[in-house]
Homo-oligomer: A and B are copies of this chain.
């Protein structure tokens, strides 16, 4: 069940003037996210119903599901741009650079995002640690999307087909594991440490995975 897609109808070419309609739309979207984050952090994820969220955002429950395909999607609703940032960051790396180094540099996007959205990211991390359904969504949807970006970027750089060559997927998998590890450390540590440092540290072992004892 769950996790269905919602057609987000992104800007129709003209990225300059959003217009009142689009402005209102993204406002209710932001309201829903804010309402959800507030309630989740106050009462917990399972303990908050989608009706509660809609109520607090002052829209109907039906409207919530027009903006988000699932309750979990509202929680992660403020991570939209991150995927593209990741993609762009990867695309901008010089092709002369080693791939692992490119991946490392791309992690700056993540670190940047975490720094600018501390509260939200911490909430997401804590809920993922405490609620199986949130953890499942994070793994199965959010992280899988990022992984796909990594895979495609690596495949492009290696000049191979990701469907027939395992290397992109395996390298991306190792990187995602490093991200998970770092994120967990950051979350359980109360978001005090330097996220970027944690990631780079975790990624350090990729260079000599094969040599592991």
Contact = CB atoms under 8 A, between A and B. Distances in A.
A172 interface: yes
A3 B131 CA distance: 11
Interface in A27-56: 46
A45 to B, nearest CB: 10
A63 B188 CA distance: 39
A79 interface: no
Interface stretch (A9-17, A108-116, A202-210): A202-210
Interface string A159-191: 000000011011111101110111000000000
Given A166-B205, A181-B169, A132 B3 contact: yes
B213 A99 contact: yes
B139 A212 contact: no
Contacts of A201: 166
B2 A170 contact: no
A204 B46 CA distance: 42
B212 A158 contact: yes
Contacts of A178: 166, 169-170, 173
Contacts of A209: 100, 167, 170-171, 174, 206-207, 209-210
A144 interface: yes
Interface in A87-116: 98-100
Contact of A136 (B98, B99, B136): B136
A170 B166 contact: no
A157 interface: yes
